[in-house]
Amino acid sequence: MCQVDGLILLFSSAMESRQVLYRTDCLLRGVGLVGSKGELVAFPAAVRFGSDLGRHGVLKKMTDLREAPEAVDGFDAARSAVPGGDSRGRVAELRAIQESALAGPSEAATEAQHAKGKLTARERIALLLDDGSFNEVEPLRRHRATGFGLESKKPYSDGVITGWGSVHGRTVFVYAHDFRIFGGALGEAHAQKIHKIMDMAISAGAPLVSLNDGAGARIQEGVTALAGYGGIFQRNTRASGVIPQISVMLGPCAGGAAYSPALTDFVFMVRETSQMFITGPDVVQAVTGEKISQNGLGGADVHSEVSGVSHFAYDDERTCLEEVRFLLSMLPQNNRETAPVEPTEDPADRRCEALLDLVPADGNRPYDMRKVIEEIADDGQYMEIHERWATNVIVALTRLDGQVVGIVANQPQSLAGVLDIHASEKAARFVQMCDAFNIPLITLLDVPGFLPGVDQEHGGIIRHGAKLLYAYCNATVPRISLVLRKAYGGAYIVMDSRSVGTDLAYAWPTNEIAVMGAEGAANVIFRRQINAAEDPEAMRVQMVKQYKDELMHPYYAAERGLVDDVIDPAATRTVLIRSLHMLRTKHADLPARKHGNPPQ
């Protein structure tokens, strides 16, 4: 005897038990069956099998599907509509089921998604991956939860599409929440699908892209759904520094669900349609009395300009996904490989005469460091990361002679290029990412120091500045630094100076490498002489000139071995490319340890 959800089944043979169990299992999921003679039948909800029904366990009553509409839901109609008496029938049945799963829950749900300015999960995957390359995993997966009406709603995929495909011919794993099914909320089966695809990505050594558009945990499934998030976080952490992980936010992401993107390497967001926050506007207003919109609390502009949670923000999904493809073209498959080399027609020995005019010799005049990067990069192309957050430092991926490199550069147009809390965090995270994925680092210095101020000191500039210092000291990839103009004090040391392990240090003849600026240094060193002079201002000017001539001339650092060479700015591209070619086979060992304990 077997009891399944209150139905008592008695069988006269093992064969009959298998047959009846198959039918009963289908019934419990609301599925109609095909009878032995090909007739379309279904089991009434109150059917009971037993010896009083005959020794063969034959149904005492069978009804046509039209008499038992409760036995079929939207997804199961395809399954019950095709006879499956032979292989061709079974294949036809399979195709009907697959087509139903691909179509989604309903046209109305798809139209509602489009009305919000959003694409469906499958449309997004089609834009991300190369045409026809997607291979879906567990497309027929369904949840097994009961209660709160879930037992009558068991759509295929359970609200998440998982699988792998290719981007520019290289394997990429992907999962995409389907907001049309349970609002993309995560349940047990949903989470297990994500866990599986994450494990596959780690094992295969290929990037993982998540297309997020979900309403958080599926409340009807209780704590089981929360445990699913724990499994995702654990795998995010295990994959960190092993495979590139990219989170694309295409809808809401609230509560604990927001921690998964924060654990990944890059976060993309779309304006107006994507939001991220731990507690929503209603909770914020209830607790603090502050009234704010979803976009004002956690929209794309907020996270790309204020919090730094998002690396990129775009106006529409198509542009966003195209940029994800471009980023993937500049990343290696995993930490055991290097980024792909792309042939270029831009000559390696091209002189950059424009640099002589782009960068003023006067250290107090600002300029746009982006133009310097454009001038030395292959075909002037680069991809800036965190473009609108901590703008006093630039981090970007570009190519030199086809090889991907990471650029860290001070931006004199913003806060004179000083390092502060956010700039230090931004640069440190980028350096760690490049080191994890074997991307050489080039640091362009024009830095007057760390930003002074009570807010900076109380905010922990020492601790945050140490993050950048730790990242550089710990990096084993090829590292090249170039001083364009100012390089003062601790900021010079932190920005990959020779003393913290850069492989090659160069400087332009406009460089000023010193403990501090000449004016400040003269005021400290020659304070008494200046105060005692008949004309203190004239004496100050004289002492500033003396300090510059003795300790800040362009060759002072080179004479002491702190700079490998002072180079012609127009030869910058050629020098950097030749240096990278030499360092391509660099090998560095770190001390044996479980892991470091970087400042937090």
Does the annotation count 521 as an active-site position? no
Predicted pLDDT of residue 75: 52
Catalytic pick among 256, 308, 459, 489: 256
Q: Where residue 72 falls among pLDDT bands split at 50, 70, 90? A: very low
Sheet of strand 245-249: strand arrangement:
135-137, 160-167, 170-177, 208-212, 245-249, 266-270, 312-314
pTM: 0.83
Q: What is the residue-averaged pLDDT of the chain?
A: 85
CATH topology of domain 355-515+554-583: 2-enoyl-CoA Hydratase; Chain A, domain 1 (3.90.226)
Predicted pLDDT of residue 28: 36
Domain residue spans of the chain: 2-100, 119-328, 355-515+554-583, 518-551
Instruction: Report the 10 Å Cβ neighbour count for 160.
Output: 28
According to DSSP H, which parts of 129-222 are helical? 188-204
Instruction: Report the 10 Å Cβ neighbour count for 248.
Output: 28
Predicted pLDDT of residue 176: 95
Catalytic pick among 428, 491, 507, 522: 491
Average pLDDT rounded to a whole number, residues 159-163: 93
Mind giving me the DSSP string for 289-350?
-----HHHHHBHHHIIIII---SEEESSHHHHHHHHHHHHTTS-SSTTS-PPP---SS-TT-
Q: Is the pLDDT of residue 86 over 90?
A: no
Q: What is the DSSP letter of 487?
A: E
Establish whether domains 119-328 and 355-515+554-583 are of one fold. yes
Does the annotation count 491 as an active-site position? yes
Does the annotation count 416 as an active-site position? no
401 near 440, Cβ under 8 Å? no
Q: Where residue 76 falls among pLDDT bands split at 50, 70, 90? A: low
Average pLDDT rounded to a whole number, residues 464-469: 97
Average pLDDT rounded to a whole number, residues 18-27: 41
Q: Between 220 and 65, where is the model more confident? A: 220
Does the annotation count 215 as an active-site position? no
386 near 426, Cβ under 8 Å? yes
Catalytic pick among 35, 460, 490, 501: 490
Predicted pLDDT of residue 98: 83
Residue owning tokens 């240090």? 505
CATH superfamily of the 119-328 domain:
2-enoyl-CoA Hydratase; Chain A, domain 1 (3.90.226.10)
Catalytic pick among 255, 460, 501, 520: 255
Predicted pLDDT of residue 572: 98
Predicted pLDDT of residue 127: 97
Q: Where residue 46 falls among pLDDT bands split at 50, 70, 90? A: very low
Q: Where residue 26 falls among pLDDT bands split at 50, 70, 90? A: very low
Lowest mean pLDDT among 321-325, 504-508, 531-535: 531-535
